[in-house]
Chain A
Amino acid sequence: GQQLNQSPQSMFIQEGEDVSMNCTSSSIFNTWLWYKQDPGEGPVLLIALYKAGELTSNGRLTAQFGITRKDSFLNISASIPSDVGIYFCAGPPNNAGNMLTFGGGTRLMVKP
């Protein structure tokens, strides 16, 4: 099936630094979703993107739907300790049906 490749797999940064992560696919996606998962919890939807080139913000988070429709980026500005967690990108494989396929996740660690 279609795979979403996320990078980096993990990041260890200093509090206050900006963070950038991305998600790529070999196929075109019409929707990109970004989730955050805290340890022992379910993922929480952060940002949803529906149009190529779309740039959407949610507080300190900004996500972009790549022009090629094969990638998406998530940026976090001025990171804080509570940003720690795993960030997943997701999208509908084959752009049909209800299901989502998930990237492998980016584990973010923030040093106070």
Chain B
Amino acid sequence: GAVVSQHPSWVICKSGTSVKIECRSLDFQATTMFWYRQFPKQSLMLMATSNEGSKATYEQGVEKDKFLINHASLTLSTLTVTSAHPEDSSFYICSARRIRDSSYEQYFGPGTRLTVT
């Protein structure tokens, strides 16, 4: 168990448009999901923590109005990149923490590569 999916796996969009990325925990429930951004040859950078039924908590420097997060159910969180620009091009990865776990283990999705032209 502990499978996390992301959709789409890759997306190309024009500058100024919005893109929605879905993150689903397939075989477990997750009260908390996380959104990361990763640049080439770099580590994962936490963008925000998504809590089911409440507002997301954003890391310092991450614009909450630009990166909209919704966690409407125990198995789904979405990240919407609004008015995307070329500098938003990156690899976005979500992770989920199992509801029954008292540990810190996070299970990651396969990632979404966003290219803004």
A48 interface residue (CB < 8 Å to B): yes
- Total residue contacts A-B, CB cutoff 8 A: 54
CB-nearest residue of chain A relative to B106? A100
Residues of A within 8 Å of B34, CB to CB, are 98-100
CB-nearest residue of chain B relative to A104? B43
Q: Residues 44-88 of chain B: 1 if any A CB is under 8 Å from the residue's CB, otherwise 0? A: 101001000000000000000000000000000000000000000
Give the CA-CA distance A41 to B46 in the complex, in Å: 16
Give the CA-CA distance A50 to B102 in the complex, in Å: 11
Q: Residues 33-61 of chain A: 1 if any B CB is under 8 Å from the residue's CB, otherwise 0? A: 10100001111110010100000000000
Most buried by B among A48, A98, A104, A105: A98
Most buried by B among A41, A44, A88, A104: A41
Residues of B within 8 Å of A42, CB to CB, are 4, 6, 93, 95, 108-111
Q: Residues 99-115 of chain B: 1 if any A CB is under 8 Å from the residue's CB, otherwise 0? A: 00001111111110100
Interface of A is mostly: loop
Q: Which of A80-100 contact B (CB under 8 A)?
A: 88, 91-92, 98-100
Q: Which of A98, A102, A103 contacts B104 (CB 8 A)?
A: A98
The answer on a CB contact under 8 Å between B104 and A44 is no
B24 interface residue (CB < 8 Å to A): no
Residues of A within 8 Å of B6, CB to CB, are 42
The answer on a CB contact under 8 Å between A43 and B108 is yes
CB-nearest residue of chain B relative to A88? B43
The answer on a CB contact under 8 Å between A99 and B43 is no
The answer on a CB contact under 8 Å between B113 and A40 is yes
